[in-house]
């Protein structure tokens, strides 16, 4: 198959590279010329484990190309994926579909022969209908099928997720499109990756329902964590105790500073807005959004409480800035809100992240960025672990103790056994660890 991937961001690039690896011919298109130039030189603009190598081998094999020329790529392709951003619209929280509709207009003018246009971006129910309307209005001669195929990959584990998905959801009832999409995903289907066909609107809603459910699960355990702190129970054990139940499952039950990232915050909000417009409100998700919003600043208050009620003029060291490990993505990262709240209370913040500091320099002001955990901890009143990168899992507490102004460790990801940290003379504050025992 000849595939044009419109948008070479986190989703478009990973999908394009993986499709090429399946043996398809792929052109990744982006309208940011510097991005395409860098990609052609073999430089991957995002941090995603394994992507660099996989992109290089498929480029060498001649199956993967990069271009700014959308028209040529679309005219050449059998299948065109739209993988552009759908951020929250400023002001009202609806999904901003400007980029999707602009891409649809461009695609309409360029298609040549029967083409399947697939929306991979996360889009509200009805967007496929509008993409189809735009294409038919712009080019009444166009022979296209418009399909929904939401993406479920996770940043940091994107290649594995794309190649070994739990399911592939395809929203179309058009037999020609079903045949093409089956061919596109045939290599995965052979690997038992279940291909699930449904109507386009259902497919669009599946993506939002999945993300909303996961966001709700995280928020649930976060509230249970707070209750554990009040009642002297341990949320880690509560999570394990309920997770053994297959109806509940043990995934997404890690208490922490609240969900962030490029998807959950905007997708939950967009679902709330869609549901309101449809006069069928989703109150569980409305509440999830509200609880999660409050939680990030509450984590700053946890740090302040650990520091005896004030952080004014105190140095606070923050470990981890990205919204999760193994990515450089800072979109809606809890660290940003926590640092802002600490600064609002007069703290001097120092921070370190293995991949996120370049991006963070654009987003944060007044933060001192250090070269490693020990550099930022020197002279600090508290060390706060916000993102659980592997390299923060074996800190040398003896070394930290020797350089910090006071030995306070706030572990917002519950990475460490609290007794181990205390043994080194630290005060330990975790999330939902109301019991003293590990
Ligand atoms: N990031 C994730 O983990 C993830 C997971 C699943 C689904 N999604 C969804 O996938 C979509 C893309 O997300 P992302 O994180 O990859 O976004 P992104 O911002 O990283 O990438 C979007 C890319 O599209 C390009 N673009 C925009 N308009 C264009 C046009 N007309 N022509 C060519 N290129 C254009 C931009 O320059 C950018 O490089 C969103 O709808 C998101 O919700 C993201």
> What separation, in Å, do the N-terminal and C-terminal C-alpha atoms of the chain show?
54
**To which H or E segment does residue 207 belong?**
helix 200-231
**Residue 238, Cβ neighbours under 10 Å: how many?**
18
> What is the 418 CA–ligand 1 centroid distance (Å)?
40
Tell which residue, 207, 217, 288, has the closest CA to residue 248. Answer: 217
Give catalytic status of residue 198 as yes or no. no
> What is the 11 CA–ligand 1 centroid distance (Å)?
6
d(CA 209, CA 322): 25
Query: In Å, how far from its chain's centre is CA 31?
Result: 22
d(CA 177, CA 10): 25
CA dihedral angle for residue 137, residue 141, residue 142, residue 147, rounded to 10 degrees: 60
Q: Whose CA is nearest to atom 18 of ligand 1?
A: 9
Query: In Å, how far from its chain's centre is CA 339?
Result: 20
Ligand 1, pocket residues at CB < 6 Å: 6-12, 29-32, 35, 70, 83-86, 99, 102-103, 121-122, 151, 153, 155, 262-263
pLDDT of residue 292: 98
Q: Give the contacts of 328 (CB within 8 A, at least 6 positions apart).
A: 46, 47, 322, 355, 356, 358, 359
pLDDT of residue 437: 80
CA dihedral angle for residue 11, residue 322, residue 421, residue 343, rounded to 10 degrees: -160
> What is the 142 CA–ligand 1 centroid distance (Å)?
25
pLDDT of residue 202: 98
**Residue 288, Cβ neighbours under 10 Å: how many?**
26
Rama region for 156: left / alpha / beta (φ>0; ψ in -120 to 50; rest): left
pLDDT of residue 260: 97
d(CA 405, CA 315): 9
Q: Whose CA is nearest to atom 10 of ligand 1?
A: 121
d(CA 406, CA 399): 13
Q: Whose CA is nearest to atom 31 of ligand 1?
A: 103
For a ligand 1 pocket test, name from 6, 51, 85, 325 the mutation site with the most ligand atoms within 8 angstroms of its C-beta. 85
Q: What is the DSSP string of 64-75?
A: EEEES-HHHHHH
Specify burial of residue 317 (Cβ count, 10 A radius: 0-12, 13-18, 19+): buried
Q: Ligand 1, closest atom to CA 46?
A: 20
Query: In Å, how far from its chain's centre is CA 223?
Result: 22
Cβ proximity of 63 and 103 under 8 Å: no
Cβ proximity of 320 and 372 under 8 Å: no
Token pair of 316, please?
């606070």
Q: Ligand 1, closest atom to CA 7?
A: 24
Tens of pLDDT, residue by residue, the chain (438 residues): 999 999 999 999 999 999 999 999 999 999 999 999 999 999 999 999 999 999 999 999 999 999 999 999 999 999 999 999 999 998 899 999 999 999 999 999 999 999 999 999 999 999 999 999 999 999 999 999 999 999 999 999 999 999 999 999 999 999 999 999 999 999 987 767 789 999 999 999 999 999 999 999 999 999 999 999 999 999 999 999 999 999 999 999 999 999 999 999 999 999 999 999 999 999 999 999 999 999 999 999 999 999 999 999 999 999 999 999 999 999 999 999 999 999 999 999 999 999 999 999 999 999 999 999 999 999 999 999 999 999 999 999 999 999 999 999 999 999 999 999 999 999 999 999 998 788
> What is the 382 CA–ligand 1 centroid distance (Å)?
37
Query: In Å, how far from its chain's centre is CA 14?
Result: 13
Q: Ligand 1, closest atom to CA 13?
A: 16
Which member of 18, 28, 228, 263 is catalytic?
263
Cβ proximity of 264 and 291 under 8 Å: no
Tell which residue, 308, 303, 306, has the closest CA to residue 319. Answer: 303
Q: Whose CA is nearest to atom 15 of ligand 1?
A: 10
pLDDT of residue 163: 94
Query: Angle at CA 218, nearest 5°, toward 214 and 223?
Result: 145
d(CA 436, CA 438): 7
Whole-structure pTM over 0.85, yes or no? yes
Q: Residue-wise over 137-175: b if at least 16 C-beta within 10 A, else e? A: eebeebebbbbbbbbbbebbbbbebbbebeebbbbbeee
Q: Whose CA is nearest to atom 20 of ligand 1?
A: 9
Token pair of 177, please?
């499109």
DSSP letter, residue 367: P
H-type alpha helices, 307-428 = 334-344, 357-363, 373-377, 397-403, 418-423
Cβ proximity of 134 and 105 under 8 Å: yes
């Amino acid at each position: 198959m000849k595939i044009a991937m419109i948008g070479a961001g986190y989703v478009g690039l990973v999908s394009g590279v993986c499709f090429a690896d399946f043996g398809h011919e792929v052109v990744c298109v982006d309208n940011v010329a510097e991005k395409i130039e860098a990609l052609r030189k073999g430089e991957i603009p995002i941090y995603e484990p394994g992507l660099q190598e996989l992109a290089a081998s498929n480029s060498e094999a001649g199956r993967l190309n990069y271009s700014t020329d959308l028209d040529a790529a679309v005219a050449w392709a059998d299948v065109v994926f739209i993988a552009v951003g759908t951020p929250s619209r400023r002001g009202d929280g609806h999904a901003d579909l400007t980029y999707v509709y602009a891409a649809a207009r461009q695609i309409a003018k360029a298609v040549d022969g029967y083409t399947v246009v697939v929306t991979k971006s996360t889009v509200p129910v009805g967007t496929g209908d509008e993409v189809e309307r735009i294409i038919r209005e712009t080019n009444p001669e166009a022979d296209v099928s418009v399909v929904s195929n939401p993406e479920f990959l996770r940043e940091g584990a994107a290649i594995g997720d794309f190649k070994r998905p739990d399911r592939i959801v395809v929203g179309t009832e058009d037999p020609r499109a079903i045949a093409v999409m089956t061919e596109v995903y045939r290599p995965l289907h052979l690997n038992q990756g279940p291909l699930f066909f449904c109507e386009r609107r259902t497919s669009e809603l599946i993506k939002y329902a999945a993300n909303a459910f996961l966001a709700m699960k995280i928020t649930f355990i976060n509230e249970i964590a707070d209750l554990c702190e009040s009642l002297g129970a341990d949320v880690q054990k509560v999570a394990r105790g309920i997770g053994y139940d297959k109806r509940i499952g043990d995934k997404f039950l890690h208490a922490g500073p609240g969900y962030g990232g490029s998807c959950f915050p905007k997708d939950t909000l967009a679902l709330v807005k869609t549901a309101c417009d449809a006069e069928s409100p989703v109150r569980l998700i409305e509440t999830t959004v509200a609880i999660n919003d409050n939680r990030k600043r509450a984590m700053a208050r946890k740090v302040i409480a650990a520091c005896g009620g004030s952080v004014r003029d105190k140095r606070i060291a923050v470990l981890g800035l990205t919204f999760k490990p193994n990515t450089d993505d800072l979109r809606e990262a809890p660290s940003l809100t926590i640092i802002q709240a600490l600064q609002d209370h007069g703290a001097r913040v120092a921070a370190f992240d293995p991949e996120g500091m370049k991006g963070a320099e654009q987003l944060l002001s007044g933060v001192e960025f250090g070269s490693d955990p020990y550099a930022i901890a020197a002279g600090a009143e508290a060390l706060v672990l916000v993102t659980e990168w592997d390299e923060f899992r074996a800190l040398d507490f003896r070394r930290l103790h020797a350089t910090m102004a006071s030995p306070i460790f706030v572990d917002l990801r519950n990475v460490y056994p609290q007794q181990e940290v205390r043994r080194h003379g630290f005060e330990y504050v975790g999330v939902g660890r109301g019991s003293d025992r590990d």
